[in-house]
Amino acid sequence: MAIVIVLGTQWGDEGKAKITDLLAESADVVVRCQGGCNAGHTVTHNGEVFKFHLIPSGMLYDNKHCIIGAGTVIDPAVLVREIEEIQAKGYKADGLRLSTRAHLTTPYQTALDKAQESKRDDKTKIGTTGRGIGPTYADKVGRRGLRIGDLYETEDILKQKIENFLQPKQAELAGVIDKAYEEQVTELMDFCRTYREKLKPYICDSVSTVHDHLGQNAQVLLEGAQGTFLDVDYGTYPYVTSSNTLASGLCTGAGLGPTQIDKVIGVTKAYTTRVGEGPFPTELKDSIGEHIGDVGQEFGTTTGRRRRCGWVDAVMLKYAARVNGLTGLAMTKLDVLDALAEVKICVAYRDKKSGEPLESFPSQLSSLDTIEPVYETLPGWQTSITDIRKEADLPQAAREFLTRLSALVGVPIDIISVGPERNQTMVLNHPIIGPQGCAMAVS
């Protein structure tokens, strides 16, 4: 039995789904633990591209148990559509389970998310995905949220829960939902009735489900959504999502304790991207940034927005290693840097005026206004690596880039990805089945 966490170390879209799908071959259970349909998780298999928003990225294997855990927020319309889409492509959804503790995103929270965002000016806008994530988590911690399990209460209890949910929101909903209170209650009752039936085959008490699998010696993968710097506590607040995206948040979302976790794999792009607003120390607003965005096809999976691109940032990655307890890195999209004559790694930050170094990623964003990145420049490899399958066959310059990055972060590289397909990968140290080479040394 092993429990392995796969999470993002940057601002999301690191390739978590590709790595989860790859490792899922050796796992019995895959759990999505937090976030909602703000996530856009791409799995490419035999040329076919799947974009999952809520379904765990283990769903393409027959007989895989895929659980959507208690820490998630669920727009049922999106989930039902996603289930229908994979079924239409000939895949089964029999192994899918949805926690009764997960929270429900109603159309009202989605409307509020969009309305709140449209009221923000250029300085305060967050650039959310507009999927109702912030309002749903606010209702959850405000203890007025609706949960999946509530759909299966009696009509009287459900109505009472809907009223508890709606009453405190009336001022906020004015001008957003153009309906009288009684009409709102009726509309949400109908909404709940619709999805009660459609979701019924999938619901479970996820604590029993996950732990029953563990009791049978299952190999379990926890799939993160978003990334370390979008974490509501440890990310670039307030330019973050509304859930805990770190290893600890995944434990909570899956109903597991920290002592049960064997490995924490930090999925890391060979450069950095960010979609939406917020600080980005190594952002490239030049032709190199544009080149990386074009070659890497850096467009948001959920919203289609162009992602901002920049150099890989070892200051951020060291912080990610600390707050997640990373045991290994999965380096993705190394191939995207193929054509560059030189590649850079941000090794430190320093004050623009005094040159004073900043030791760690700061907690206050204002500190980022006055710093600049310090780069180490390495030669590029200027050859295509996308067909390489053995780490030893990588060009020397690519190996040096990886070795240096690993040394700076203090975490070994367990997996190298050189393309979107499952087989475009070099597994040096398999987190579930063990070393197949050996992890790239931290020198």
Pick what 419 binds: ligand IMO, ligand GDP, Mg ion, none; C-beta below 5 to 8 Å, kind-dependent: ligand GDP
Pick what 105 binds: ligand IMO, ligand GDP, Mg ion, none; C-beta below 5 to 8 Å, kind-dependent: none
Q: How far is the CB of 113 from ligand GDP (least distance, A)?
A: 19
Helix, strand, or coil here: 318? helix
User: Which residues are bridge partners to 273 per DSSP?
Assistant: 309
Query: 102, 188, 230, 323: which one contacts ligand IMO (CB under 6 A)?
Result: 230
- Give yes or no for residue 275 binding ligand GDP (CB under 6 A): no
Q: Which of 260, 137, 129, 162 is nearest to 207 (CA)?
A: 260
Cβ 93 vs Cβ 58: under 8 Å: no
- Give yes or no for residue 21 binding ligand GDP (CB under 6 A): no
- Give yes or no for residue 282 binding ligand IMO (CB under 6 A): no
- Give yes or no for residue 131 binding ligand IMO (CB under 6 A): yes
Q: Which of 379, 320, 372 is nearest to 346 (CA)?
A: 372
Q: Is 41 a catalytic residue?
A: yes
- Give yes or no for residue 35 binding ligand GDP (CB under 6 A): no
Catalytic residue among 13, 21, 75, 414: 13
Catalytic residue among 28, 41, 65, 213: 41
Query: How far apart (Å, rounded) are the C-alpha atoms in residues 333 and 338?
Result: 10
Q: Which stretch binds Mg ion (CB under 5 A): 57-65, 216-224, 297-305, 425-433?
A: 297-305
Pick what 126 binds: ligand GDP, ligand IMO, Mg ion, none; C-beta below 5 to 8 Å, kind-dependent: ligand IMO
- Give yes or no for residue 133 binding ligand IMO (CB under 6 A): yes
Query: How far apart (Å, rounded) are the C-alpha atoms in residues 417 and 388?
Result: 10
Q: Is 122 a catalytic residue?
A: no
Q: Which stretch binds ligand GDP (CB under 6 A): 35-43, 65-73, 131-139, 358-366?
A: 35-43
| Torsion of the alpha carbons at 361, 362, 367 and 373, rounded to the nearest 10 | -10
Query: How far apart (Å, rounded) are the C-alpha atoms in residues 292 and 99?
Result: 39
Q: Say which residues have a Cβ less than 8 Å from residue 115's Cβ, sequence separation at least 6.
A: 175, 176
Query: How far apart (Å, rounded) are the C-alpha atoms in residues 147 and 162?
Result: 10
Q: Which stretch binds ligand IMO (CB under 6 A): 35-43, 162-170, 210-218, 328-336?
A: 35-43
Q: Which stretch binds ligand IMO (CB under 6 A): 37-45, 181-189, 193-201, 374-382?
A: 37-45
Quickly tell me which residue has 């499952």 as its tokens. Answer: 422
User: Which residues are bridge partners to 328 per DSSP?
Assistant: 265
**CB-side neighbour CA atoms (13 Å) of 270:** 27
Convert residues 71-110 into a mask of x (bound to ligand IMO by CB under 6 A) and - (unbound).
----------------------------------------
Query: How far apart (Å, rounded) are the C-alpha atoms in residues 263 and 266?
Result: 10
CA 288 to each of CA 282, 313, 340, 342: distance values in angstroms, whole numbers, following the listed order: 12, 16, 8, 10
Site for ligand GDP in 277-306 (CB under 6 A): 301
Q: CA 40: distance to chain centroid?
A: 8
Q: How far is the CB of 241 from ligand IMO (least distance, A)?
A: 3
Q: Which stretch binds Mg ion (CB under 5 A): 7-15, 254-262, 334-342, 408-416?
A: 7-15
Site for Mg ion in 38-97 (CB under 5 A): 40
Site for ligand GDP in 36-95 (CB under 6 A): 40-42, 44
Q: Say which residues have a Cβ less than 8 Å from residue 349's Cβ, sequence separation at least 6.
A: 281, 315, 357, 358, 368, 371, 372, 373, 374
Quickly tell me which residue has 């050859």 as its tokens. Answer: 383
- Radius of gyration of the CA atoms of the chain, in A: 22
- Give yes or no for residue 169 binding ligand GDP (CB under 6 A): no
Query: 2, 3, 7, 13: which one contacts Mg ion (CB under 5 A)?
Result: 13
Q: How far is the CB of 283 from ligand IMO (least distance, A)?
A: 14
How many helices (DSSP H) and strands (DSSP E) are in the chain? Answer: 13, 20
Q: Say which residues have a Cβ less than 8 Å from residue 159's Cβ, sequence separation at least 6.
A: 185, 189
Query: How far apart (Å, rounded) are the C-alpha atoms in residues 427 and 415?
Result: 5
Which residue's CB is nearer to ligand GDP, number 252 or number 301? 301
Site for ligand GDP in 409-438 (CB under 6 A): 417-420
- Give yes or no for residue 70 binding ligand IMO (CB under 6 A): no
Q: Which residues are catalytic?
A: 13, 41
Which residues of this protein are in contact with ligand GDP, per CB under 6 A? 8, 12-18, 40-42, 44, 301, 332-333, 335-336, 417-420
Which residues of this protein are in contact with ligand IMO, per CB under 6 A? 8, 11-13, 38-41, 126-129, 131, 133-134, 225-227, 230, 241-242, 275-276, 301
Which residues of this protein are in contact with Mg ion, per CB under 5 A? 13, 40, 301
